[in-house]
Amino acid sequence: MSRSARLLRLLDLLRRARQPQTGPALAQTLDISLRTLYRDIGTLRDQGADILGDPGLGFEMRPGFLLPPLMFTPDELEALMLGAQWVGNQADGQLAAAAASALGRIRANLPMDLRIELDTSGLLVPSTQAIPQEPWQGPLRAAIRSQHKVLLHYRDQKDQTSERRVWPFAMGFFEHVRVLAAWCELRQDFRHFRADRVLEVEILAERYPESRARLIQRWSRQMGHKAGQRC
């Protein structure tokens, strides 16, 4: 195991632990000496990790520490690169630009060897036929983040139009279509709206009364129950 991979593993052990970890236990898990472990903890502290503790007392890390980009493993970097390429092909221009910007920021902070690995990975996301990007993808994503109600002017599969006040909480990006998952005030139930059938979007000032996390939990249970009924 390389030193960078070992440091990453040590960070994961400390972040996931629910109580202080002793030096000997950490050293045994990593298959290194106590001296090497203490040196690695010092390195992580120098890089900004808020690790509490001392030899003989155990070590723990305060929550909130962000992993520096240089600590990503090659597999993690390839996953990030593939994800950014996919977003560039499938999402709206604003989100695609954000993915490219984030990947560029990570790349700029990588050591040269990992930067070369990223640039020459040979992993590609094939370009698909261009799909028209609906202009309200950005506003809908903003409404999901801020948990605001939305008024949709919508055309269904029978070509009939309607207005729906909905609570948007998720958006699915499929190969040929984007789908908004929301609670519909008219139907008093969860509904899915194809983005290409939305005619107009109005973000309302009112926030919906239930948290996005709670809506996702209820929606997931309902979808799981319906899937079980089809089996």
Q: Are residues 148 and 213 in the same domain?
A: yes
Q: Is the domain of 60 the same as that of 106? A: no
Is 32 a domain residue? yes
Full domain range(s) for residue 88: 72-119
Please compute the mean of the pLDDT values over residues 120-127 and round it to a whole number.
76
Same domain flag for 162 and 205: yes
Across 191-219, average pLDDT: 93
Residue at 144 is within a domain: yes
Residues 162 and 185 in one domain: yes
pLDDT the model gives residue 231: 44
- 81 shares a domain with 59: no
**218 and 161 within one domain:** yes
User: What was the pLDDT predicted at 14?
Assistant: 87
Tens of pLDDT, residues 148-201:
999 999 998 888 999 999 999 999 988 778 899 999 999 999 999 998 899 999
| 159 shares its domain with 222 | yes
pLDDT-based confidence at residue 71 (cuts at 50, 70, 90): low
Determine the average pLDDT of the residues in 204-224.
Answer: 93
CA distance readout (Å), 40 to 11, 44, 231: 10, 6, 52
Residues 134-152 have a mean pLDDT of 90
Q: Taking the model in full, what pTM does it have?
A: 0.62
Note whether residue 161 is domain-resident. Answer: yes
pLDDT attached to residue 32: 93
Q: Is 128 contained in some domain?
A: no
- Angle at alpha carbon of residue 26, lines to 24 and 4, rounded to 5°: 130
Task: Tally the domains of the chain.
Answer: 3
Looking at the structure, tell me whether residues 61 and 78 fall in a common domain. Answer: no
Rounded to the nearest 10 degrees, the angle between the axes of helix 34-46 and helix 3-16 is 80
> Do 110 and 145 fall within a single domain?
no
Q: How far apart are CA 118 and CA 21, in angstroms?
A: 34
Q: What percent of the chain has pLDDT over 90?
A: 37
141 shares its domain with 104:
no
Beta bridge partners of residue 153, listed in sequence order? 163, 200
Residue 54: predicted pLDDT: 84
61-65, 136-140, 197-201: least confidently modelled range: 61-65
Are 55 and 98 found together in one domain?
no
Q: How far is CA 171 from CA 49, 81, 90, 136, in A?
A: 34, 22, 13, 12
Element (H, E) at 87: helix 74-90
Answer with the one of 67, 92, 111 that is the final residue of a domain.
Answer: 67
Assess if residue 130 is contained within a domain: no
Does residue 183 fall inside a structural domain?
Answer: yes
Specify whether 44 is located in the same domain as 77.
Answer: no
Q: Point out the least confidently predicted range of 22-26, 54-58, 86-90, 126-130.
A: 126-130
